[in-house]
């Protein structure tokens, strides 16, 4: 069983992940790439390590401009069986400008307006979709969009 401190750390992390997914409305971007962003449906992440001893599997459901996020936290790298914790979040999102990332790839700014554990958050991120997979940006603090994609975590359309 996880101690209270570890559970709070998990909630903080999943809140940060949720925020990085939410996007803000904008313009002046590459409209051709922006039109390629098709998020409607269910997306599941790979099992990824969080804080060296916890593993997370995320499921996002996008419908028009809304999203639901379920983060299942495990204490083993297979992300199977019963999770030690489940964290849920939901809200709306908007897409913004097309940017060029630090690696030269194009990505779309996304702003999430999220409610998790009765707390509202605004999360700024970027998203790069390639057919049936996508990556979010590397989380940054403050009120700026990231410019680097996180290739360690990817989501696949189900």
Query: How would DSSP label each residue in 24-73?
Result: ----SS-HHHHTT----EEEEEPPEEETTTEEEEEEEEEETTEEEEEEEE
| Residue 91 burial (C-beta neighbours within 10 Å; 0-12, 13-18, 19+) | buried
0.85 exceeded by pTM: no
pLDDT, tens digit, 9 for 90 and up, residues 9-33:
444 454 444 444 443 333 333 444 4
How many structural domains is the chain composed of? 1
| Residues 5, 15: Cα–Cα separation, whole Å | 15
pLDDT, tens digit, 9 for 90 and up, residues 55-65:
999 999 999 99
Domain membership of residue 77 as a residue range: 4-157
């Amino acid at each position: 069983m996880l101690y209270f401190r570890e559970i709070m750390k998990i909630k903080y992390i999943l809140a940060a992940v949720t925020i990085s997914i939410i996007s803000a409305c904008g313009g002046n971007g590459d409209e051709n790439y922006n039109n390629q962003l098709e998020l409607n449906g269910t997306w599941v992440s790979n099992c990824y390590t969080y804080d060296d001893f916890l593993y997370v599997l995320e499921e996002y459901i996008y419908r028009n401009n809304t999203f639901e996020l379920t983060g299942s936290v495990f204490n083993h790298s297979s992300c199977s069986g019963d999770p030690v914790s489940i964290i849920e979040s939901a809200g709306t999102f908007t897409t913004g400008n097309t940017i060029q990332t630090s690696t030269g790839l194009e990505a779309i700014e996304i702003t999430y307006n999220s409610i998790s554990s009765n707390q509202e958050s605004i999360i700024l991120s970027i998203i790069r979709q390639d057919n049936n997979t996508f990556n979010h940006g590397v989380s940054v603090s403050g009120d700026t969009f990231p410019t680097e994609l996180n290739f360690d975590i990817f989501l696949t359309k189900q």
